[in-house]
Structures are given as C-alpha cells and as structure tokens.
Amino acid sequence: MREGYKRVDKLSDESEKVKNLLKNKKLVAVRRRNNIRRLALENFTTYDKFITFTFKENIKDIDFANRMFKNFIKRLRYKIGDFKYISVIQFQERGSVHYHALMDIGYLEKEQLEKLWGHGYCKINAIDHVDNVGAYIVSYMVKNFDDDRLRGRKAYLLSKNLRRSKVIKGVKVDKILNDIGVGPVYESEYLTEKNGVCYYKEFNLRRCRK
C-alpha cells in the first residue's frame, strides 16, 4: 500500500508541476499581449496603418523570416524616411510565417509596398473606425502568443523609436483613477520575474468623453 501511495504522491506532484507550468505560460502570454497594447496605445492612432505581410514561399524558419522583415524595414525607411512599427509573428495553416504590423506611415500605394517587401502579398487596412488600437491589434495577434514555435523567441518585432508609457506610482495613481470616474474597459493579470503577478487595467478616455 505504501508503494501505491508513493506513486500517487509522485503523480500528484508531477500533475501540479504541469498545472503551474501551464498557468505561468498563460501569464507570460498575457504579459506579452499587455505590452503590445500599451505600446500601441502610446505610439499609434487611427490615422496609422495596420498591414499584413505574407511570404509567397512557405517560409517556416523564423530567424530567416525576421531577417527578411528587418531588411524590408531598412528599404522602406530609405524610401519614405523614419517611422515607428510594431510587428507580431503569426503562422498560416501551412506553417509559413507572416506578420501583422502597425505602422505610422503615410499614404503608400499597395503595389509600391509589395515591391519594397519583395516576398509576397501585402494587405493594408485602414483603422479609422477603431477607438482602441491596442485592443484591435491584439485581437489579431492573440492566438499565436503561446505557440510552442515561439518558445524562447521574441513574439514581436519593435522599432527602437517607440515611446514607452510614463510610469506613475503611489497616491497619484488613485487621484488619476478618481478623476477618470469610470471603470476599466479591460483587465488582466500577468507574471513578471521582478514583481510576481501584476494586475493590468485599461481605461478608454475616448469612450469616457462620449
């Protein structure tokens, strides 16, 4: 009987480890999504573009695909000057890498963009109907954030000129929340190495003004 109990205890321990691993994986995925939301809200507006970049060939090598995307960014900057972008990796059903990107570029013909991209199809989406660019971009990107193919890799590519959100601490936070006078439109929690579990709340001031 003792042997049996030992086996059950061991199985229970392993089961708990798996549960904790899955929970941590989920929290890390949420942290990634929240980071994208913050950066998008801080740097982009509805006047910017949401663009999908695909490969004609079935490119499954993420490192190779990322090099091609970064080279495209260099060509685009040479053509139109400096700009900001957030680009997130996704996978098509065939396994090929493709990118969804927010870019603060002006008007550019689709044919021009595809020529500069040089690897396949581009789809330019206007987002002037969107009141929360952070939520919008995450809605397109959420399904692959915890993809095993991205384990140990960055799930997104960022331009170096992105503004980071201003950090406010202490009683000032309570004052700001009281001044807003409405509840959050989005809440979540995520895991950090330094602070453990963090709680994220997002308020949409555009909706507050309506």
With cut-offs at 50, 70 and 90, classify the pLDDT of residue 14: low
> Residue 178: inside a domain, yes or no?
no
> In this structure, what CATH number is given to the domain that contains residue 156?
3.30.70.1910
For residue 35, is it within any domain? Answer: yes
Tell me how far apart the terminal alpha carbons of the chain are, to the nearest angstrom.
Answer: 68
Q: How many domains does the chain have?
A: 1
Q: What is the pLDDT of residues 99-118, one digit of tens each?
A: 999 999 988 899 999 999 99
User: What integer pLDDT is reported at residue 134 of this predicted model?
Assistant: 83
The pairing of beta strand 186-192 with beta strand 196-202:
antiparallel
| Structural domain span for residue 100 | 23-163
Question: Do the domain assignments include residue 39?
Answer: yes
Residue 124 lies in a domain: yes
**73 and 125 Cβ atoms separated by less than 8 Å:** no
pTM exceeds 0.75 for this model: no
The first and second tokens of residue 174, run together, are 């309570």
Name the band, by pLDDT with cuts 50, 70 and 90, for residue 11: very low
User: Sorting pLDDT into bands at 50, 70 and 90, what band is 21?
Assistant: low
Cα–Cα distance, 208 to 193 (Å, whole number): 34
Q: Is residue 141 one of the residues assigned to a domain?
A: yes
Domain assignment present for residue 206? The answer is no
Is residue 50 in a domain? yes
